[in-house]
Amino acid sequence: MSRKFFVGGNWKCNGTKEEVKKIVTILNEADVPSEDVVEVVVSPPFVFLSFVKSLLRSDFSVAAQNCWVRRGGAFTGEISAEMLVNLGIPWVILGHSERRLLLGESNEFVGDKVAYALSQGLKVIACVGETLEQRESGSTTDIVAAQTKAIADQISDWRNIVLAYEPVWAIGTGKVATPSQAQEVHTGLRKWLQTNVGAEIAASTRIIYGGSVNGANCKELAAQPDVDGFLVGGASLKPEFVDIIKSAAVKSYA
Ligand SMILES: O=C(CO)COP(=O)(O)O
């Protein structure tokens, strides 16, 4: 069994055309492990998706940061899964905590979105994670299990899903989860999948970590047995994203 290391760059609501071009140039010139070793996906804002796709090296892919929950139509301001497919965008990030918390996306809504996006042929980076308050009250395991269950209830095919564990308290705060904190939640999620979905899916699903990952802390996190890669925010806009991609080299799956 082997899970290919996965590094995603979530650019969030950042960048100008010029800045985007600069980042892509850095990525295009970078010497990184081959696509047999690491899968790299960058996620620019919607308006830059086609621009990035047209410039980006062919061994890296692009992801949207969201899409509408069902077929497109009279939903002002939304972007449908069909549109992403039509533009040749293979991936979408769904259930990011910024959308759950700032825009009120519920576990069920995220589950519905994941199911619809998969049904249209998109691959999904599905995010889960607890707030600081939830961690401090000891409910991390229950929270991430409930978020994962709402997705698992809606889907049967896990081949096109990457699960991203992103503790809210670590996002954009510079306060990274320790390698053992990350490993503890990742192994718990894998066990949850094993019990509730199936052993094969649990063994093959990639569970990646997000929250203040940078060039300095990525290697130690990557070395954890159940950390299969990263979803990177702030550092994905900087040259150190290349070092994070390179951390795939420290991985050796048994
Ligand atoms: O939210 C994140 C990725 O989706 C993580 O953001 P930071 O890496 O900026 O903490």
**For 106-160, what is each residue's pLDDT tens digit?**
999 999 999 999 999 999 999 999 999 999 999 999 999 999 999 999 999 999 9
Ligand 1 centroid from CA 91, angstroms: 17
Taking 60 as the threshold, does the pLDDT of residue 254 lie above it?
no
The finding on whether 232 has its CB within 6 A of some atom of ligand 1 is yes
Give Cα separations from 149 to 76, 140, 141, 144, 224 (angstroms): 30, 14, 12, 8, 24
Q: Are 125 and 64 in contact (CB under 8 A)?
A: no
Question: Looking at the domain covering 5-250, what would its CATH class be?
Answer: alpha beta
Using the 8-state DSSP alphabet, how is residue 87 labeled? T
| Rounded Cα distance, 39 and 245, in Å | 9
Taking 70 as the threshold, does the pLDDT of residue 73 lie above it?
yes
Average pLDDT, the chain: 97
Q: What does the buried/exposed string (b/e) look like for 162-194 if buried means 16 or more CB atoms within 10 Å of the residue's CB?
A: bbbbbbbbbbeeeebbebebbbbbbebbbebbe
Atom 6 (ligand 1): residue with closest C-alpha? 233
Sign of the torsion formed by the C-alpha atoms of 130, 135, 139 and 142: positive
User: What confidence tens digit (pLDDT) does each residue in 49-68 have?
Assistant: 999 999 999 999 999 999 99
pLDDT at residue 251, rounded to an integer: 83
User: What confidence tens digit (pLDDT) does each residue in 188-216 have?
Assistant: 999 999 999 999 999 999 999 999 999 99
Q: Are 81 and 68 in contact (CB under 8 A)?
A: yes
Q: Are 124 and 161 in contact (CB under 8 A)?
A: yes
| Rounded Cα distance, 217 and 199, in Å | 30
Ligand 1 centroid from CA 117, angstroms: 22
Q: Which of 6, 11, 12 to mutate to test the pocket of ligand 1 (most atoms within 8 A of CB)?
A: 12
Q: And the tokens for 173?
A: 């705060």
Q: Which of 91, 221, 231, 236 to mutate to test the pocket of ligand 1 (most atoms within 8 A of CB)?
A: 231
The finding on whether 10 has its CB within 6 A of some atom of ligand 1 is yes
The finding on whether 41 has its CB within 6 A of some atom of ligand 1 is no
- Which atom of ligand 1 is the closest one to the Cα of 171? 10
Does this model's pTM top 0.95?
yes
Whole-complex ipTM: 0.99
Q: CA Rg, the chain, in Å? A: 17
Ligand 1 centroid from CA 248, angstroms: 18
The finding on whether 233 has its CB within 6 A of some atom of ligand 1 is yes
Ligand 1 centroid from CA 189, angstroms: 20
pLDDT at residue 172, rounded to an integer: 94
- Which atom of ligand 1 is the closest one to the Cα of 97? 1
Taking 90 as the threshold, does the pLDDT of residue 44 lie above it?
yes
The finding on whether 231 has its CB within 6 A of some atom of ligand 1 is yes
| Rounded Cα distance, 208 and 5, in Å | 9
Give Cα separations from 174 to 63, 85, 94, 171, 244 (angstroms): 24, 35, 23, 7, 16
Active site (catalytic) residues:
96, 166
